[in-house]
Structure 1
Amino acid sequence: MKPSFLPGWVLSLACIAAVAGMVGTPVAATAADIELQGRELVVSGMLDGSAIKTFTEQLASGTVRTVVFEDLSGGTADAAGAFADAIRASGVDTEIRGQCMAACAYAFLAGKTHRFGYGFQVNGILLPVAARPTAAELAVRWRGEEAHKTLADFTPPTASTAGTATAKPVEASVPPVKDNWQPDHGILFTASPTLFGRIYNAYYCDGTQGRDFSKCERISDADPYKLGVLTP
């Protein structure tokens, strides 16, 4: 896949190179690390579901105003759904500082408002997709319930949803679980700070580039605010 170079390509490549640098090194953490900092609940590491109980208890306390995702490399679809449900039920805002990849992205979208953090760091969010969205799909794919429906594409079928009308054993009626959660395949939105404000760019990554996101194809006219990925 060849990247599409448009005006401002130097800043674009610098931005995705910075994101690639953040995810190029294997993450040592195997579970989410949760820390309450005033009215912010900071989540880092990886969403594997092990910390969901602590997470929901913190949200239930009523002291949290914003959930901050800080350099999360991904996680599982089930964990993404659990974190998203807890965020949506509590009505808190969400924020990204650094990277928020795959599973983290769907939890992020559940916030009442969802934004990139301020400061001089490069921010990036990669939303996994099963196939490249059309322009029409991009316009609505990550708004409200549509984001929740998209997550269902990556959730394995359960016995309650995959059963048939015949009296077959559950094992026979549920197809083998297929791992279609590909953290390197999706739409990557990046923001890099400059003297004139932040520069926003969007890319389609088909997964063949691995963690070298500089090889992803640039998408024109994909403003994250217009698409609902970020809110004002």
Structure 2
Amino acid sequence: MRRIFRIGTVAALVLLAAGTLQAAELSQKADRLHVSGMLDGSAAREFAGRLQQGGVRVVVFEDALGGSADVAVAYAQAIQAAGVETEVVGQCHAACAYAFLAGRSHRFGEGDQVNALLIPVAARPGAQELGTRWRGDAARQTLAEFTDVDAAAASAVPAASAPSSPARGSRRWQPEHGLLFVSSPTLFGRIYNTYYCDGSQGRDFTRCELLPDADPRQLGIVSD
């Protein structure tokens, strides 16, 4: 694969990927509910409760690096029921990405950080599929595929050691395998790109493949 990122983007993504995953944490600032860490279910009930209470306009996923598919569904359902917007600040991977797509509108945050959304896919999509996959029923079908893989992987191992994401033996999706949508700050404003990561690169996202003519805003991934 071709090397794709500017030096600043490389450093930001590699350093974040090397960090230790932590359980989800919630914090609210005015009408913005921030979610960080891994969507492991530990804060799912509190998350749904805060949305049911009202007063939240935007759910901000900030450096949320994965989690389990069933929890992604729980977060997505709570977001859809409340009709709130979603935003990514920093990294949002796998389970977080699907919860993000459930927002009434969804966007990348501003500021000087690199924002990146990693959505698991079974295979490299063609240009036509890429343009329609993230809208309406097509997006929900992608989530269903991710959920099916996660359930199959969990049933293949003892409960005590079940992974929080699909096992590496899965034939449909591997960790770090998917589409990476990136918003990077520059002196002339933000630039938006889409990359395909086949999983062989591990956490070194600099080895992912740049996809031509795939602006995340035009694809419907982000609204801004």
Aligned-partner Cα distance in 2 for 1:43–1:182: 24
Q: Within 2, Cα distance between the matches of 1:230 and 1:143?
A: 11
1:48 aligns with 2:47: no
**Count of aligned pairs:** 210
Aligned equivalents of 1:220 and 1:17: distance in 2? 23
Partners of 1:77 and 1:155 within 8 A in 2: yes
Counterpart contact for 2:24–2:39, Cα < 8 Å: yes
1:67 equivalent in alignment to 2:59? yes
Find out whether 1:216 has 2:208 as its counterpart.
yes
Length-normalised TM-score, structure 1: 0.84
**1:16 positional shift:** 4.1
1:108 equivalent to 2:100? Answer yes
Q: Deviations over 1:95-127 (max 9, x none)?
A: 011000111000000001100011111111111
Distance in 2 between residues matched to 1:70 and 1:10, nearest whole Å: 21
Structure 1 residue 129 corresponds to structure 2 residue 128: no
SS in 2 for 1:199: strand
Aligned to 1:201: 193
Is residue 184–residue 205 contact of structure 1 (8 Å, CA) maintained in 2?
Answer: yes
Counterpart residue number, 1:150: 142
Deviations along 1:127-154, one digit per CA (max 9) or x if unpaired, are 1101111111101111123211101112
Partner of residue 163, structure 2: none
Structure 1: how far apart are the matches of 2:156 and 2:186?
A: 48
Tell me how far apart the structure 1 counterparts of residues 207 and 156 of structure 2 sit (CA, whole Å): 33
TM-score computed with the length of structure 2 as normaliser: 0.87
Per-residue deviation at 1:34? 0.9
Task: Pick the aligned partner of 2:31 from 23, 39, 53.
Answer: 39
Q: Choose which of 68, 71, 86 in structure 2 pairs with 1:76.
A: 68
Distance 1:82 1:182 in 2: 22
- Residue matched to 1:3: 2
Which entry has the higher C-alpha Rg, 1 or 2? 1
Paired position in structure 2 for 1:169: none
The unaligned stretches of length 5 or more in structure 2 are 158-165
Q: Give 4+ residue runs of structure 1 displaced > 4 Å after superposition.
A: 175-178
Q: Describe the shift of the 1:200–1:56 C-alpha distance in structure 2 as closer, same or farther (beyond 3 A).
A: same
Q: Distance in 1 between matches of 2:56 and 2:125?
A: 34
- The alpha carbon displacement at 1:176 in A equals 4.7
| Deviation sequence 1:164-198 (CA, Å, 0-9, x none) | xxxxxxxxxxx858734533000111111111100
1:24 maps onto 2:18 in alignment: yes
Letter in 1 for 2:59: V
Q: Is contact 1:84-1:107 (8 Å) kept?
A: yes
Mark the CA change 1:66 to 1:10 in structure 2 (over 3 Å): closer, same or farther.
Answer: closer
Percent identity over the alignment? 56
After superposition, the CA RMSD in angstroms is: 2.2
